[in-house]
Amino acid sequence: MDKKTATILKKAKKIKMLITDVDGVLTDATMNFITNPQKELLEVKKFCAYDGLACHMLRDGGIKSAIITGGNAPATEKRAASLGMDFLYYNYLSKGPALQDILKKTGLKAEEIAYIGDDFIDMPVLLEVGLACAVKTSIPEVKKIVHYVTKKEGGRGAFREVTELLLKAQGKWNKTIKNAQEGTIGKTPKPKLQVINFRQK
């Protein structure tokens, strides 16, 4: 094992929450819009099923999950709630305050947080957390400051890849496999999603 890999695994062992961006990480960054019969403009999100199952795997492994996004698509809230995520921060183009709020509410330390991002607005959080991750399709400036760059692209399993990294580093992968074989993945009770909208604060 090389030194870089050893460092990543050491950091991953400490993680108690995985936070992610949405556009470009949970999606491929494509933004699709439709109008309803009332002629209102609605944003349509395309999420990856592999990433969805990863949220259940995290919860079973005792790792919390959250979203910090500069967007405000209702589909994101529905998705986060259905997957049993803990927090959703909307309309946070400046993401640092959202991270600080999470630390305050959970009592976690920054070194116990992993974050996945891809663009400039993710950089303040990436520079603070214990395990900073970028998806394969991230901008070069983000890739330069993180500890880990995924092999998968955003919206195509990158979140799942980081999830597996955490579970394996923490010795929880065999339990995940056992849960899969027994058909019990995601049986851990879901928390009530806490939604914080910057524009309503």
Q: Domain range holding 145?
A: 3-200
* 86-89: long-range pairs with CB below 8 Å, 24+: 86/17, 86/191, 86/193, 86/194, 87/19, 87/193, 87/194, 87/195, 87/196, 88/193, 88/194, 88/195, 88/196, 89/196, 89/198
Q: How far is Cα 145 from Cα 155, in angstroms, rounded to an integer? A: 21
Residue 36 carries which side chain, given as an amino acid letter?
Answer: N
Domain count within the chain: 1
State residue 187's pLDDT score: 94
Contact (CB, 8 A) for 84 and 191: yes
Q: Could you please report the per-residue DSSP string of 89-130?
A: EES-SS-HHHHHHHHHHH---GGGEEEEE-SGGGHHHHTTSS
pLDDT of residue 43: 67
pLDDT, residue 129, reads 98
Q: What is the CATH number of the domain that holds 110?
A: 3.40.50.1000
- pLDDT, residue 32, reads 72
Mean pLDDT value across the chain? 93
Closest CA to 117 of 132, 97, 101, 100: 132
pLDDT score recorded for residue 41: 64
- Distance (Å, rounded) from C-alpha 18 to C-alpha 129? 10
Report how far residue 48's alpha carbon sits from residue 158's, in angstroms, rounded to the nearest whole number. Answer: 9
pLDDT of residue 101: 97
The reported pLDDT for the residue numbered 82 is 95
Q: Which residues of the chain have pLDDT under 50?
A: none
The whole-number pLDDT of residue 75 equals 87
